[in-house]
């Protein structure tokens, strides 16, 4: 884990948030390479669940919603963690994360557990009174439920269908930690898939399998992934069934995504609290009902962390250590890097021309600093799947070498076929 965190800082994937002010607990910023990686994760998700399906549409709802939304959803009353205070050092802990009756930091006496609501409160408008209290959303899901009717009325989607959304969520976690794994501000990728009551169980199966496969298709080792069904004591108040996709992080098996059968709980609650009819008329069956919902709910930051951890590899090549991020080509920040072998004979100019041509199609890097070996290592370390080198022969016959990050093999390709070759290799990869 420490190696991944160091690499992230050193190579501009993830920086400590507000670092020049000493940082802010568990607030992290994505650097130039991290933002590309996370965008690619989100794009791969959107492509898999929206673009490639004809039964899911997208949405982008507001972060600050009507406060009644969170009463209806149960968050105002029940989105709490048990909190204990240390009477000596005043630190606070989640009661269920503390093993015994003593403070894990100083051994002091702990208070009785009390419930702490995780929602961030704010005020809308210029007056800070109870009438203007609002919350930063703790999940994107509710933005989907409150737009169910809008989507049904405007999109001609027929049940079974889903609504997908990617966006920031906020939780005032008592004990954030493990780098990107648990932060107070994070991004979710959620689908609410509306189905006929009675058809929920096969759809639950469908989404469990689909979502598990997504991680495998994008390169995560199957043996470090598992689907763990929740026991009855673990189920959220709204859920009939839930299964977590878990990854074996260096700190243990932990949740990447939950797939839940939320029944008709949310639509019924919003109908009750808003006074609006959120039932659905099924034309095929000529009947009206409140749909059941299957919810695959993933974290963009958590999955980015899993992709980074899983891709990290060290090996010895010709007596030297090589660090390589074996990222799936679709996730890699740069798809290729272009290098002139020498900084003379017109090679830099020729390499720049290739770089400029490729950059119109893919994110590509250019590097002419240091030995070619060091330049390859720099790209290996950030997961660039292909290296293109302009050398003496390029100047004679117009071919450049194409190096594969994982196999480290090189072949020669005519310059004008490089874009086509890269496209074929990138689209040929599964996922």
Which helix (H) or strand (E) segment holds residue 362: the answer is none
Helical axes 347-359 vs 418-428, angle rounded to 10°:
50
> Which of 184/412 has CB closer to ligand GAP?
184
Instruction: Single out the residue of 69, 256, 294, 426 in contact with ligand GAP (rule: CB under 6 A).
Output: 256
DSSP string for 292-338: EEEEEEEEHHHHHHHHHHHHEEEEEETTEEEEEE---TTT-S-SEEE
Please choose, out of 68-76, 83-91, 181-189, 342-350, the segment that lies near ligand GAP by the rule CB under 6 A. 181-189
Interaction of residue 137 with ligand GAP, rule CB under 6 A: no
Please choose, out of 201-209, 254-262, 277-285, 376-384, the segment that lies near ligand GAP by the rule CB under 6 A. 254-262
Instruction: Single out the residue of 36, 81, 85, 139 in contact with ligand GAP (rule: CB under 6 A).
Output: 139
> Which of 15/120 has CB closer to ligand GAP?
120
Interaction of residue 258 with ligand GAP, rule CB under 6 A: yes
Compute the distance between CA of residue 371 and CA of residue 30 in angstroms, rounded to an integer: 29
What does the block give as tokens for 50?
A: 């929206």
Interaction of residue 211 with ligand GAP, rule CB under 6 A: no
Instruction: Single out the residue of 188, 261, 379, 401 in contact with ligand GAP (rule: CB under 6 A).
Output: 188
Compute the distance between CA of residue 246 and CA of residue 257 in angstroms, rounded to an integer: 7
What does the block give as tokens for 40?
A: 């690619």
Parallel/antiparallel/unpaired status of strands 364-366 and 336-340: parallel
Instruction: Single out the residue of 117, 297, 347, 394 in contact with ligand GAP (rule: CB under 6 A).
Output: 297
Please choose, out of 64-72, 97-105, 178-186, 308-316, the segment that lies near ligand GAP by the rule CB under 6 A. 178-186
Q: Residue for token digits 């090679």?
A: 347
Residue 60 beta carbon to ligand GAP: minimum distance, rounded to whole angstroms: 16
Instruction: Single out the residue of 43, 173, 199, 210 in contact with ligand GAP (rule: CB under 6 A).
Output: 173
Partnered with residue 273 across adjacent β-strands are none
Closest CA to 337 of 368, 308, 314: 368
> Which of 117/297 has CB closer to ligand GAP?
297
Please choose, out of 35-43, 203-211, 249-257, 263-271, the segment that lies near ligand GAP by the rule CB under 6 A. 249-257
Residue nearest to ligand GAP (CB): 299
Asked whether 5 and 179 are in contact (CB, 8 A), the reply is: yes
Compute the distance between CA of residue 353 and CA of residue 396 in angstroms, rounded to an integer: 16
Instruction: Single out the residue of 36, 246, 257, 310 in contact with ligand GAP (rule: CB under 6 A).
Output: 257
User: Where in 4-43 does DSSP place strands (E)?
Assistant: 14-16, 28-30
Instruction: Single out the residue of 55, 199, 210, 255 in contact with ligand GAP (rule: CB under 6 A).
Output: 255
Residue 44 backbone phi and psi in degrees, to 5:
-65, -40
Burial of residue 323, with CB atoms counted within 10 A of its CB: 0-12 exposed, 13-18 middle, 19 or more buried: middle
Coil, helix or strand for 390?
strand
Please choose, out of 71-79, 125-133, 185-193, 405-413, the segment that lies near ligand GAP by the rule CB under 6 A. 185-193
Please choose, out of 220-228, 299-307, 358-366, 399-407, the segment that lies near ligand GAP by the rule CB under 6 A. 299-307
Interaction of residue 301 with ligand GAP, rule CB under 6 A: yes
Query: What is the contact surface with ligand GAP in residues (CB under 6 A)?
Result: 139, 141, 171, 173, 182-183, 186, 188, 190, 255-258, 295, 297-299, 301-302
């Amino acid at each position: 884990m420490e190696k991944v965190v160091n690499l992230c800082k050193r190579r501009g994937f993830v920086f400590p948030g507000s670092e020049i002010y000493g940082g802010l607990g568990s607030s992290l910023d994505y650097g130039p390479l991290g933002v590309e990686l996370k965008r690619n994760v989100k794009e791969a998700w959107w492509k898999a669940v929206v673009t490639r399906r004809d039964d899911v549409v997208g949405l982008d709802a507001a972060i600050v919603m009507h406060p009644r939304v969170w009463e209806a959803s149960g968050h105002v009353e029940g989105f709490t963690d048990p909190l204990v205070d240390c009477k000596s050092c005043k630190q606070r802990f989640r009661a269920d994360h503390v093993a015994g009756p003593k403070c894990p930091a100083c051994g002091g006496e702990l208070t009785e557990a009390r419930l702490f609501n995780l929602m961030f409160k704010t005020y809308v408008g210029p007056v800070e009174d109870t009438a203007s209290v609002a919350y930063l959303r703790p999940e994107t899901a509710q933005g989907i439920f409150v737009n169910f009717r809008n989507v049904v009325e405007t999109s001609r989607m027929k049940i079974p269908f889903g609504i997908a959304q990617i966006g920031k969520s906020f939780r005032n976690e008592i004990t954030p930690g493990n780098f990107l794994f648990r932060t107070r501000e994070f991004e979710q990728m959620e689908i609410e898939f509306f189905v006929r009551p009675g058809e929920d169980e096969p759809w639950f199966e469908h989404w469990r399998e689909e979502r598990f496969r997504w991680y495998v298709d994008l390169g995560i080792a199957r043996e470090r992934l598992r689907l763990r069904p929740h026991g009855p004591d673990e189920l959220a108040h709204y859920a009939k069934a839930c299964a977590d996709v878990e990854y074996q992080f260096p700190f243990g098996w932990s949740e990447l995504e939950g797939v839940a059968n939320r029944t008709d709980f949310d639509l019924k609650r919003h109908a009750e609290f808003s006074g609006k009819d959120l039932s659905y008329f099924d034309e095929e069956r000529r009947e009206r009902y409140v749909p059941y919902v299957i919810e695959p709910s993933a974290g963009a930051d958590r999955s980015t962390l899993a992709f980074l951890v899983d891709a990290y590899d060290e090996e010895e090549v010709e007596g030297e250590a090589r660090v390589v991020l074996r990222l799936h080509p679709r996730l890699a920040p740069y798809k290729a890097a272009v290098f002139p072998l020498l900084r003379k004979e017109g090679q830099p100019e020729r390499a720049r021309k290739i770089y400029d041509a490729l950059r119109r199609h893919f994110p590509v890097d250019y590097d002419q600093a240091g030995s070619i070996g060091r330049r390859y290592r720099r790209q290996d370390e950030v997961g660039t799947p292909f290296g293109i080198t302009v050398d003496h022969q390029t100047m004679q016959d117009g071919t450049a070498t194409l190096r594969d990050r994982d196999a480290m093999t090189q072949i020669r390709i005519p310059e004008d076929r490089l874009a086509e070759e890269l496209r074929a290799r990138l689209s040929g990869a599964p996922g």
